[in-house]
Amino acid sequence: QVGEGVPASQKGSWTSFLKSIASFSGDLSSLTAPPFILSPISLTEFPAYWCERPELFAAIAAAVTEEDRSIRVLKWFISTLKGQYTSRNEKLGSEKKPLNPVLGELFYGHWPDINGRGQTNLVVEQVSHHPPITAYYIENPTKGIQLQGHSAQKTSFSGGSIIVKQIGHAVLTVDLPNGGKEEFLITLPRLRIDGLWYGSPYIELSETSYIQSSSGWLSTIEYKGKGYFSGKSHTFKAVLSAPHSSAAAHTYEGLWHMTSKNISTGELFTDVTVPKEEVTVSPVEQMSEWESRRLWRYVAKGIRDGDFETASREKGKIENEQRQRRRDEQAAGAKWELKHFEHIESDPIYERLGKLFKTTPPTEDAYIYKHNYTPLSAALANQPA
């Protein structure tokens, strides 16, 4: 019998959903899932997880040496993992199936300037619907820090779990006081979604991800779950090595959803037991029709209220509208234009930094931000008094 996480009336549809996943590989977003597992949040909101500790993001700018900069980037990165991979369990009770964004869907937000850390701004655009690809740009202009990336997934099924290979990468750029820039190529871990049978899915991370700095410093982060080096879930070990060296200059170990420490000094490295800061967005009434929370508002309300009839009717409307739009474009011989990003076939930063730690594949595409959005509160601040 399927597990406790599944409401009695949905057990049958959960079993058939699991069967359809098992015999399917590719784009999970297109599979119809039973209501209890639906999330009212679209994937375009997920890039906000990168900056829910804005002070750690801002603190990267305070580094004086290349080594220290790499340590701070690693610290910020590890501190984002809890939000990225466990926050739906905390907020919604389990991992859930996010809303599948439409082409052109947008999500804007910011984290306010508090205590001189500077404001951090977020621009997200759904740049492909099939397969789903989300592009994002996050910037703290005061501190001269930018993060640009895109996210897609390839899924497969193995041993009762969904395996998610993350496609895409992120590039963090830091403006240096001498006018130069330091770049960091960030690759992403592999996910395993466990707990499916019981109807209470959760994510475990596995394998290795990297942060390669243009200065030569490299972080190699290994992820393990229950039964590996510590026997605990959500374990990681990160080794930071100097340019042209494979020896560990610093090694950190711990739980990415709790705390970690420097293994030789015992000093605390990351601590995400302290609350994070959710992104600030404008009120839904002031959003454009393309903005995620406005676009999905009735679907999301239906899901939240347990009114799945309304949710699926409203979802159907959005999907039909999308299909019609694609047909109209085809008839007119027109192509959908991205609003905030430009697609490039191969990313020169990925190629250059990827060479230093031999990435596979040797090249990847990227979405380059067009710098054509004025963040809300900055716009207000620029108004004459």
Secondary element (H or E) of residue 294 = helix 292-295
| Number of helices and strands in the chain (H, E) | 8, 18
Q: Give Cα 7 to chain centroid, integer Å.
A: 29
Residues 293-332 binding ligand CLR (CB under 6 A) are: none
Which residue reads 């926050």 in tokens?
87
Q: Does 46 bind ligand CLR (CB under 6 A)?
A: yes
Cα atoms found within 13 Å of the Cα of residue 84, Cβ hemisphere only: 20
Give the span between the Cα atoms of 319 and 161, in whole angstroms. Answer: 29
Residues 128-167 binding ligand CLR (CB under 6 A) are: 151, 153, 162, 164, 166
Instruction: Kindly tell me which of 153 and 359 has the beta carbon lying closer to ligand CLR.
Output: 153
Q: Rounded to 5 degrees, what are φ and ψ at 195?
A: 75, 15
Out of 10, 22, 55, 97, point to the residue binding ligand CLR (CB under 6 A). 97
Contact 296, 282 (CB under 8 A): no
Number of residues that bind ligand CLR (CB under 6 A): 19
Instruction: Kindly tell me which of 49 and 76 has the beta carbon lying closer to ligand CLR.
Output: 49
What's the min distance (Å) between Cβ of 62 and ligand CLR? Answer: 25
Give the span between the Cα atoms of 200 and 292, in whole angstroms. Answer: 26
What's the min distance (Å) between Cβ of 192 and ligand CLR? Answer: 10
Instruction: Kindly tell me which of 63 and 198 has the beta carbon lying closer to ligand CLR.
Output: 198
Per-residue binding string, ligand CLR, 184-223, x by CB under 6 A, is ---------x-------x----------------------
Q: Does 38 bind ligand CLR (CB under 6 A)?
A: no
Among 125, 119, 131, residue whose Cα is nearest residue 55? 119
Residues 11-30 binding ligand CLR (CB under 6 A) are: 28-29
Give the span between the Cα atoms of 362 and 152, in whole angstroms. Answer: 18
Give the residues lining the site for ligand CLR (CB under 6 A).
Answer: 28-29, 33, 37, 46, 49, 84-85, 95-98, 151, 153, 162, 164, 166, 193, 201
